[in-house]
């Protein structure tokens, strides 16, 4: 009798699970549904369909709500530039993402990115970011582009030892000491901030391109060239 009960419970659980997988996903944003449907070649995607989605490109599609995308747990590449997105919480479970581009949106909070431990490249220019603490444990990052935001504190990048490209143009940064041990960086863009001390940048062993315009950089170009003549300073 006990074994029969266990079997019945298992069969019910399996049926419920299969039903959930076959359930049609509800999208709050029609533009997102159109983009996902086109990528999958399916008119009304189910949860099972969403789990097959590996890459999604939906640039300038007037998307404002990502609800429904949370089921795409196997996504590796996501490009959503030039939309009207402010809430990225549906992306929180996307632990397989390797590339995330969301430039020119309305994003203030990137805390849902904290678990994206596979992420290698992300571009988040032209948003409304001030707190970037979510990137602190994304140690596989090779490219981090945060131009044109409201960032003052870049200490969360200090442990990103694999960074090769770091772009921070047009923020409100004055202290770049957190980058001083990121020796894989070859391109650093820190134009249009409030930086006076560029020595942490000059010490980076792999650095080849350093963009420092529109800072308090009187004499800095000559000083850096004296130390590291191979660096292209602009």
Q: Quick check: is 24 in a domain?
A: no
| Residue 69 to residue 71: CA distance in whole angstroms | 5
Write out the residue range of the structural domain in which residue 189 sits: 52-233
Write the pLDDT tens digit of every residue in 16-53. 444 445 799 999 999 999 999 999 999 999 999 999 99
The single-letter DSSP state of residue 231 is S
Q: Quick check: is 18 in a domain?
A: no
Q: Quick check: is 40 in a domain?
A: no
pTM of the entire predicted model: 0.89
Number of domains in the chain: 1
Q: Quick check: is 35 in a domain?
A: no
Write the pLDDT tens digit of every residue in 164-180. 999 999 999 999 999 99
The CATH number of whichever domain residue 68 belongs to comes to 3.80.10.10
Q: Quick check: is 178 in a domain?
A: yes
Sign of CA dihedral 206, 208, 214, 217: positive
Residue 19 main-chain phi, psi, to 5 deg: -65, -40
Q: Quick check: is 208 in a domain?
A: yes
Ranges of H-type helices in 23-162: 30-40, 47-50
| Residue 162 to residue 203: CA distance in whole angstroms | 16
Between the alpha carbon of residue 105 and those of residues 134, 166, 224, the distances in Å are 18, 20, 35
Ranges of H-type helices in the chain: 2-22, 30-40, 47-50, 199-202, 220-227
User: Which single residue is written with the structure tokens 């969403």?
Assistant: 50
Q: Quick check: is 8 in a domain?
A: no
Q: Quick check: is 198 in a domain?
A: yes
Given a contact cutoff of 8 angstroms between Cβ atoms, the answer to whether 84 and 104 are in contact is no
Tens of each residue's pLDDT in the chain, 234 residues = 555 545 443 444 333 444 445 799 999 999 999 999 999 999 999 999 999 999 999 999 999 999 999 999 999 999 999 999 999 999 999 999 999 999 999 999 999 999 999 999 999 999 999 999 999 999 999 999 999 999 999 999 999 999 999 999 999 999 999 999 999 999 999 999 999 999 999 999 999 999 999 887 767 788 887 888 889 998
């Amino acid at each position: 009798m006990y074994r029969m009960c266990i079997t019945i419970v298992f069969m019910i659980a399996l049926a419920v699970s299969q039903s959930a997988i076959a359930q049609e996903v509800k999208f709050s944003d029609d533009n997102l549904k159109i983009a996902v449907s086109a990528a999958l070649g399916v008119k009304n995607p189910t949860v099972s369909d969403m789990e097959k989605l590996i890459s999604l490109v939906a640039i300038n599609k007037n998307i404002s709500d990502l609800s429904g995308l949370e089921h795409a747990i196997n996504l590796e590449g996501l490009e959503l530039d030039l939309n009207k997105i402010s809430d990225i919480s549906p992306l929180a479970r996307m632990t397989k993402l390797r590339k995330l581009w969301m430039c020119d949106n309305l994003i203030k909070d990137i805390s849902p990115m904290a678990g994206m431990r596979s992420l290698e490249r992300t571009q988040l220019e032209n948003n409304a970011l001030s707190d970037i603490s979510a990137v602190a444990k994304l140690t596989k990052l090779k490219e981090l582009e945060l131009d044109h935001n409201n960032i003052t504190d870049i200490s969360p990048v200090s442990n990103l030892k694999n960074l090769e490209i770091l772009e921070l143009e047009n923020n409100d940064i004055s202290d770049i000491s957190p980058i001083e041990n990121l020796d894989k960086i070859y391109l650093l863009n820190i134009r249009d901030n409030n930086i006076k001390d560029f020595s942490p940048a000059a010490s980076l062993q792999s650095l080849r391109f350093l963009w420092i315009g529109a800072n308090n950089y009187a004499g800095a170009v000559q000083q850096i060239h004296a130390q590291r003549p191979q660096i292209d300073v602009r």
